[in-house]
């Protein structure tokens, strides 16, 4: 990886690292989900991301990698997380084209397309206490940093920080979407598990760009 691009191999490594972090934290994610959901987010995400890892060597372009990732997540992750994460990666793939590298600007454009697809699929917005609360501030921070001339490394770190802040901001929120919304006011005081897993995308990418 150069300082100014992400290659197919970099993105494959991003997804491998994401799967590893999910597996390392699957019990934590399930504990979060047990408080306000179905107590299966960690197990579901671990199963889905492990399945993704088995497909990574099959892709010969970035769009193929991302689309296959999305389709695999849809078919292997239970609950609402599969369709949402799957939609995000498929929309990312549709936004890239058959290329082998992405500039930071191109990556940001693709990820924003993915997040917008996820929002449309889930009919959710900021402060609904969902993964959007971690994803949208992160891509905003990433794009702002790139626009200001930051390096890829620094832009990813800015996004990582914004994602973590967005995740933590879900604690006092009352859920307006998903299983947690059934709890009403009782959903306040708990960290959203989807927002927690979404931050791992940026933790994984930070590891890749540092390496």
pLDDT in tens, 120-150: 999 999 988 999 999 999 999 999 999 999 9
Q: Are 24 and 171 in contact (CB under 8 A)?
A: no
Question: pLDDT over 70 for what percent of the chain?
Answer: 97
The DSSP line for 122-190 is HT--TTSSSTHHHHHHHHHHHHHHHHTT--HHHHHHHHHHHHHHHHHTTTTPPP-SSGGGGGGGGGTTS
Question: pLDDT over 90 for what percent of the chain?
Answer: 83
Q: Are 178 and 123 in contact (CB under 8 A)?
A: no
As a whole number, the mean pLDDT across the chain is: 93
Average of pLDDT values for 30-39? Answer: 88
pLDDT in tens, 149-179: 999 999 999 999 999 999 999 998 988 877 7
Residue ranges of domains in the chain, CATH in brackets: 6-210 (1.25.40.340)
pLDDT at position 1 is: 47
Query: What span, in angstroms and rounded, lies between the C-alpha atoms of 137 and 134?
Result: 6
| 182 pLDDT tier (thresholds 50, 70, 90) | low
pTM for the whole structure: 0.95
């Amino acid at each position: 990886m150069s300082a100014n691009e992400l290659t197919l191999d970099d993105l494959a490594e991003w997804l491998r690292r994401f799967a590893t972090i999910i597996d390392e934290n699957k019990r934590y994610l399930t504990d979060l989900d047990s408080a306000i959901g179905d107590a299966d987010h960690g197990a579901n995400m671990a199963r889905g991301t492990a399945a993704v890892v088995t497909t990574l060597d099959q892709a010969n372009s970035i769009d193929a990698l991302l689309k296959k990732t999305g389709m695999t997540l849809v078919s292997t992750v239970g609950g609402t997380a599969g369709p949402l994460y799957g939609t995000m990666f498929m929309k990312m793939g549709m936004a890239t084209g058959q290329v082998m590298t992405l500039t930071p600007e191109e990556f940001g454009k693709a990820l924003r397309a993915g997040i917008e697809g996820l929002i449309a699929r889930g009919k959710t917005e900021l402060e609904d206490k969902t993964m959007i609360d971690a994803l949208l501030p992160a891509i905003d921070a990433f794009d702002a940093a790139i626009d200001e001339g930051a390096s890829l490394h620094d832009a990813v770190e800015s996004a990582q920080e914004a994602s973590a802040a967005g995740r933590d901001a879900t604690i006092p929120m009352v859920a307006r979407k998903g299983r947690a919304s059934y709890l009403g006011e009782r959903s306040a005081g708990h960290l959203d598990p989807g927002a927690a897993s979404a931050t791992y995308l940026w933790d994984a990418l930070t590891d890749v760009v540092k390496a």
